[in-house]
Amino acid sequence: MADTLNLLTDADCRNASSGGKKLAKLHDGGGLYLWVNADGTKYWRLRYWLAGKEKSLSLGVYGKGKVSLKDARARRDQERKRLESGLDPSAERKAVKIRRQHAAENSFETVAREWYGKQLHTWVPGHAEDVKRRLEKNLFPVIGRRPIAEIDAPELLHAMRKIEERGAYDLAHRVLQVSGQVFRYGIATGRCKRDLSADLRGALTPHKAKHQAAVRVEDMPGLMRAIDTYRELGDLQTQLALQLLAHTFVRTNELIGAEWSEFDMDEALWVVPAARMKMKTEHVVPLSKQALAILETLKATSGGSRFVFPGRNRDKPVSNNTMLFALYRLGYKGRMTGHGFRSVASTALNEMGFRPDVIERQLAHCERNEVRGAYNRAEYLPERKRMMQQWSDYLDAIAQGAKVTPLRAA
């Protein structure tokens, strides 16, 4: 304040030492002190009395580029004005610290990571990585530090707009869906009251969902004959992988990660463990005679690897893109994908007259509701065995040039 007696000079502060003591306290007037430690570090402290009790408050570290004598006096005067107004600077700082800690514990990022951890065991690794990347690259940099309860719709929309500015309209919709799941988790755990993603419906640029390319059923004969010639362009293992994918119509990731221990050749069954399934539920694939024959050939070419489709490193499976690029080489770029075999099989099997529930179970489109979807690994198994054999017979027939349409279910 104006009547404060200033005792220290800049030279005093620069040259101050503890004089061999553990701590020396140099007074500057108005309760301001420079504390000098034995190791040479120097700190500004404000000493004051409140309600008959002596207290002190840190005003920063003295040194070049830090809190100078002039700065310390300004801070002292500012804190004394607060004291004259009846405020306790120390208590106020503690309150601010608590509020910041509370905000950090309830930030969007904290809530999102907590939600992510709860969901992680239900996801396959690829999906888990996608969700994590969408959060870390698109949401955390914009609203991650904000208390989730204080975020408003325009803030969330701003995050979405930054994605749209890159032309990633589909991604913006996907990220919005993820944000909605985080907000709903925040509501359930008492950290916020609203799912702001619902407020943004209609606010994002419309986009057309990109479906995985798949040929029509009537185009399958040409595709199967092309696959039969793939060895002229590439390797036998990839040709057999495409053929097995066609005969089993599992997801590409489920096929390339297959291990020999999953197959019971005597029972003609392939049991894909829950850990490798998209829905985290064990899946049974009946093996037709044709599928078994393909596997027998693969057994002879796998070189003792535990993987059915080992890569150059026999301890790892082939790349995710192996079959996609093989389809490219066959001239089906933009026309067919590994996932496309599932679409074609679903269409054709429905035309054959197989029951939709049987087809859906074989596609592993199982109900996630724990009550309705309690999974029986043998559900519809006799009918599924007949269906898979009839599907393989159909593929064989069209690959050999027979002019057939999907037959009715036997």
CATH number at residue 187: 1.10.150.130
Selecting among 80, 283, 342, 384, the annotated active-site residue is 342
Selecting among 45, 339, 355, 385, the annotated active-site residue is 339
Selecting among 25, 97, 100, 365, the annotated active-site residue is 365
Cβ atoms of 295 and 263 closer than 8 Å:
yes
Our answer to whether residue 342 is catalytic in this structure is yes
Whether the pLDDT of residue 402 is over 70: the answer is no
pLDDT band at 1 (very low <50, low <70, confident <90, very high): very low
Whether residue 320 sits in one domain with residue 270: yes
pLDDT of amino acid 102: 61
Q: In whole angstroms, what is the distance from residue 355 CA to residue 70 CA? A: 85
Cβ atoms within 10 Å of 30's Cβ, excluding its own: 19
Give the model confidence (pLDDT) of 32-48 as tens digits: 999 999 998 999 999 88
- Can you say whether residue 308 is alpha, beta or left, with left for phi > 0 and alpha for psi between -120 and 50 degrees? alpha
Distances from the Cα of 2 to the Cα of 5, 82, 329, angstroms: 9, 16, 85
Q: In whole angstroms, what is the distance from residue 54 CA to residue 383 CA? A: 85
Whether the pLDDT of residue 303 is over 90: the answer is no
pLDDT of amino acid 369: 42
Closest Cα to residue 62, out of 40, 80, 89, 79?
A: 40
pLDDT band at 376 (very low <50, low <70, confident <90, very high): low
Classify residue 49: in a domain, yes or no. yes
Our answer to whether residue 251 is catalytic in this structure is yes
Boundary-marking domain end, from 89, 120, 144: 89
Classify residue 46: in a domain, yes or no. yes
Q: What is the overall mean pLDDT for the chain?
A: 86
Mean pLDDT computed over 94-113 = 75
Boundary-marking domain end, from 56, 89, 122: 89
pLDDT band at 239 (very low <50, low <70, confident <90, very high): very high
Range of the domain at 336: 217-399
| CATH number of the domain to which 303 belongs | 1.10.443.10
Cβ atoms of 378 and 284 closer than 8 Å:
yes
Classify residue 238: in a domain, yes or no. yes
Is the model more confident about 321 or about 303? 321
Classify residue 370: in a domain, yes or no. yes
Whether the pLDDT of residue 108 is over 60: the answer is yes
Our answer to whether residue 48 is catalytic in this structure is no
Selecting among 161, 375, 385, 386, the annotated active-site residue is 375
pTM of structure: 0.55
Distances from the Cα of 64 to the Cα of 11, 36, 50, 183, 333, angstroms: 13, 15, 32, 46, 64
Whether residue 332 sits in one domain with residue 261: yes
Cβ atoms of 58 and 29 closer than 8 Å:
no
Classify residue 140: in a domain, yes or no. yes
Strand order in the sheet with 53-61: 23-29, 32-37, 42-50, 53-61
Whether residue 346 sits in one domain with residue 244: yes
pLDDT of amino acid 268: 95
> How many structural domains comprise the chain?
3
Whether residue 196 sits in one domain with residue 237: no
Selecting among 173, 251, 283, 384, the annotated active-site residue is 251
Whether residue 359 sits in one domain with residue 281: yes
Classify residue 100: in a domain, yes or no. no
Classify residue 72: in a domain, yes or no. yes
Classify residue 281: in a domain, yes or no. yes
